[in-house]
Amino acid sequence: MWGNEQSFRAIFNCAIDGILIADIETKKFHVGNKAISEMIGYSGEEIQSMSVPDIHPPEQLPHVLGEFERLASGETTVARDIPVMRRGGSIFYADISASLIMVSEKEYLMGIFRDVTERKSVEDALKESEERFRILLEQNFDGVFIHENFMILDLNQQLADILGSSRPELLGTSIMVHIPPHSQEPIQEYIRTKKRGHYEVELQRRDGTLVQVESFGAPCKFQGRDARIVALRDITERKHAENVRDEKARLEEQLRQAQKMEAVGQLAGGIAHDFNNILSAIIGFASIVKMKMVSDDPLKTHVERILESSDRAAQLVRALLAFSKKQTLDMKPVALNRIVAAIEVLLRRLIGEHINMTIKTSETELTVLADSGQMEQVLMNLVTNARDAMPAGGQLIISTGTIEIDSEYIEVHGFGKSGRYASLSVTDTGTGMSEETQEKIFEPFFTTKETGRGTGLGLAMVYGIIKQHNGYINVYSEPGKGTTLKIYLPLINFKSVVEEKRIGGYLRGGTETILVAEDDDYLRELVAAVLGEFGYKVITAADGEDAMMKFTENIGDVQLCILDVIMPKKGGKDVYDYIRAKRTDIGVIFMSGYPADLIDRGAFSADDTVLLLKPVVPRDLLARVREMLDK
Q: Tens digit of pLDDT for each residue in 138-166?
A: 455 578 888 888 898 888 888 888 888 88
Helix 236-292 / helix 618-629 crossing angle, nearest 10 deg = 90
pLDDT per residue as tens digits for the range 18-50: 999 999 999 999 999 999 999 999 999 999 999
- In a shared domain, residues 557 and 580: yes
Instruction: Decide if pLDDT at 506 tops 60.
Output: no
pLDDT of residue 113: 94
Q: Are residues 348 and 269 in the same domain?
A: no
What is the tens place of the pLDDT at every residue in 169-211?
A: 999 998 888 888 877 777 777 666 655 666 788 888 888 888 8
**Are 281 and 386 part of one and the same domain?**
no
Q: Classify burial at 465, counting beta carbons within 10 Å of its beta carbon; exposed 0-12, middle 13-18, buried 19 or more.
A: buried
Mean pLDDT of the chain: 81
In the chain, % of residues over pLDDT 90: 28
Q: Per the domain annotation, does 244 fall within a domain?
A: no
Do 176 and 111 belong to one domain?
A: no
Predicted pLDDT at 40:
94
Residue 70: other Cβ atoms inside 10 A: 14
> Do 339 and 468 fall within a single domain?
yes
Q: Point out the domain boundary residue: 115, 138, 158.
A: 115
Residue 463 belongs to a domain: yes
Q: Which of 305, 323, 341 is at the close of a domain? A: 323
- The beta-strand segments (E) located in 161-224 are 197-204, 210-222
Determine, yes or no, domain membership for 504.
no
Residue 507 lies in a domain: no
pLDDT at 447: 66
Residues 399 and 426 in one domain: yes
Evaluate if residue 98 carries a pLDDT over 60: yes
Per-residue confidence (pLDDT) for residue 287, from 0 to 100: 83
The number of distinct structural domains making up the chain is: 5
DSSP conformational letter for 17: S
Residue pair 456/446 in contact by the 8 Å Cβ criterion:
yes
Residue 613 is part of which domain span?
513-629
Contact 437, 508 (CB under 8 A): no
pLDDT at 213 over 90: no
Question: Domain containing 563 — which CATH number?
Answer: 3.40.50.2300
pLDDT digits (tens, 9 = 90+) for 443-464: 766 666 554 444 456 687 788 8
Residue 43, CA distances (Å) to 39, 363, 473 in order: 10, 92, 90
Q: Using alpha carbons, list the distances in angstroms from residue 65 to 62, 74, 77, 112.
A: 5, 14, 15, 16
Residue 625 has pLDDT above 90, yes or no: yes
Would 623 be classed as within a structural domain? yes
Contacts of 627 (CB under 8 A, 6+ apart): 610
Q: In what order do the strands lie in the sheet with 143-148?
A: 151-155, 143-148, 225-234, 210-222, 197-204
Tens of pLDDT, residue by residue over 594-617, are 654 444 445 555 667 888 877 777
Is residue 68 domain-shared with residue 33, that is, in the same domain?
A: yes
Asked whether residue 354 is assigned to any structural domain, the reply reads: yes
pLDDT on residue 413: 67
Q: What share of the chain is helix, strand, coil (3-state, %, to 5)?
A: 45, 25, 30
> Which pLDDT value is given to residue 253?
64
- pLDDT score at 546: 95
Highest mean pLDDT among 120-124, 320-324, 362-366, 541-545: 541-545
464 and 345 both lie in a single domain: yes
pLDDT over 50 (residue 495): no
Q: What is the CATH number of the domain that holds 291?
A: 1.10.287
In the prediction, which pLDDT does 493 show?
A: 75
610 and 625 housed in the same domain: yes
The model's confidence at residue 494, banded by pLDDT at 50, 70 and 90, is low
Structural domain contains residue 508: no
Q: What is the pLDDT of residues 256-303, one digit of tens each?
A: 666 655 666 566 666 666 777 778 778 888 888 887 788 788 888 888
Same domain membership, residue 411 and residue 541? no
Judgement on whether residues 402 and 539 belong to the same structural domain of the protein: no
Q: What is the CATH number of the domain that holds 205?
A: 3.30.450.20
* 185 lies in some domain: yes
Of the candidate ranges 52-56, 115-119, 132-136, 365-369, the one whose mean pLDDT is the lowest:
132-136
Q: What is the C-alpha separation between 483 and 480, in angstroms, rounded?
A: 9
> Are residues 485 and 336 part of one domain?
yes
| Domain edge (last residue) among 185, 201, 234 | 234
What distance in Å separates the CA atoms of residue 210 and residue 631, rounded to the nearest whole number? 73
